[in-house]
Amino acid sequence: MNDILPTGYRMPAESAPQERVWMAFPSPGYSLGDTEQARHEARSTWAAVAHAVADFEPVTVVVSPTERDTAARYLSAGIDIIEAPLNDAWMRDIGPTFVHASDGSVTAVDWVFNGWGGQDWARWDRDAEIGRVVAEAAGTPVLSSNLVNEGGGIQVDGEGTVLLTDTVQLDPGRNPGMTRHDVEAELARTIGATHAVWLPCGLTRDSQRFGTRGHVDIVAAITSPGRLLLHTQRDRSHPDSAVCARIRASLEGTHDAAGRSWEITEMPAPATLTDAEGYVDFSYINHLVVNGGVIACGFDDAHDRDAVAILTEQYPGRKVVTVDARPLFERGGGIHCITQQQPLARGGSSNGFR
């Protein structure tokens, strides 16, 4: 791959100071569930993540007008609510990606969202508008993109490096006919990515019918420049064992935007291998970094404690808090997938939440 010259925009690392975190509240549909028990489980889990984040920084939740009263019963009074029609509640993917402009202010990149590649079970007529809804509420300008992309499909280090997967940005259901160079050029324009590292695929379950076709945010995370945290399935009976080996091999000889070879730390997958639907894609990689903390996925699993220890080492000075993420993964994602951070403008000035 050829490095691309930077533009005036740059997506900061997730560990950069944040103004707030954005979420969406589950609306009737796939993620909410069909039974009262399933609906309560979804609402309770989304709320638990919101409350965990709110211990560190402000949280704003987009709520469908029909769900306003219900959301108020699950969310504490300290969490801001704005109303907008929703199809689903995966804010990382339906919301904007926030970047710094050259003057240090914050701009919202509005990707095209088409239901993870136009999947037949997805509905996205309302979710496709959420990027602009959030940008307007946040008081930020909008940088429009014609790239079909989701926030879960990119990982950055804040210095120009971006991690991608061939099966997402080059998905014919998302960006037919686009090449790696085309994608890299657009990511340079919008998020200031000057150096792309392409992974071949995502995890097995995420590549099946109800998955995203390979989001990177359950596979790998850049925890600081030059340091890469990599999902590792060590049980050879799980198909992700071979997938993880393939991904690790693809990283051989690669480097970040500054030319540093990766210092790779393996993050063991949870010991749990299956659920009622088959092999799971449970992953501790799908965590959210916040001001002074890390909101981590828990699975009531033998490896939860090890994951907390690794995350504590990778993010020194931050408190690691876990939330049971099994109800999220059962619905197709994790904690990172339902959240989107808004960085603080450089210089410490707020964009002014409306």
**Active-site amino acid positions:** 337
Q: Residues 170, 160: contact at Cβ < 8 Å?
A: no
In whole angstroms, what is the distance from residue 200 CA to residue 249 CA? 10
User: DSSP readout, 225-280?
Assistant: TTEEEEEE---TTSTHHHHHHHHHHHTTT-B-TT-PBPEEEEEEPPS--EETTEE-
The label of the residue with tokens 């969202």 reads 113
| DSSP helix/strand/coil, 201 | coil
In angstroms, rounded to a whole number, what is the distance separating the alpha carbons of residues 192 and 241? 33
User: How many CA atoms does the CB half-sphere of 273 hold within 13 Å?
Assistant: 9
From residue 202, alpha-carbon distances to 7, 13, 216 in Å are 29, 21, 6
Residue reference for tokens 């799980």 = 238
Rounded CA-CA distance 302/286 in Å is 18
